[in-house]
Structure 1
Amino acid sequence: MGVVISILEEKEGDVEIVISSYLSRGSRWSGILLIVGFLLWRVCLRVIYVFLALNGGGTRIWVLLVQVLLFGFTNVFKWVCFVVYYFECKKRISKKEVPLVEGDGVYSV
């Protein structure tokens, strides 16, 4: 999520890491599952490609073309999911209520 913050909010270096850590505080498992899901998808695509390439399943050019298209689609889908995850974390944090240090009220961030 640090890269998304770097692009959308134009932050740099350790600032984006601190912001991403703060925003993902309550939903780290969903972020981890998102990353593991994309990792498994990429491994499956590579295994399918190796299987088809070694067994001569179709023309190698077509197999390579389909593989490149699937990887391109995966990268676009991955970045869209990361941006949606970023906005969901930001929306969840903005609705969070923080008790005031001075006074008895509640401040909605």
Structure 2
Amino acid sequence: MDAWKQWSPSCPVDWQMRPPEAGVEAVRRELLAALDDCHGTDCDRLRWRLHTAERAQELWLLRDQILEAVAHQHCLALARERIDGLLAAFGTAATGGLGERVQAPGSFS
């Protein structure tokens, strides 16, 4: 029996950790690298969201916020260049049809 169930046996929740989908860690590292030279509370909050995402789709939805953070700290051209550089990583890691959408030109926004 799990240790937490000893002090709360009536708890109906059975917590189970799931491993991340294949390829998610590689995409997560690339997204975090895009924020390497960005600082501040908003960027820290975004890094936390990147670390807690479990699926490639969750990471995909955070790319607009990465674009905004990089554009705010640097410029829009650099932000778009970084996001465009991430599309290949999403194409290899995404499941459930997301890969087809990633390949479309101009799909970063």
TM-score, reference length from structure 2: 0.27
> Higher Cα Rg: structure 1 or 2?
1
Q: Which has the higher strand share?
A: 1
Q: Which has the higher helix share?
A: 1
TM-score, reference length from structure 1: 0.27
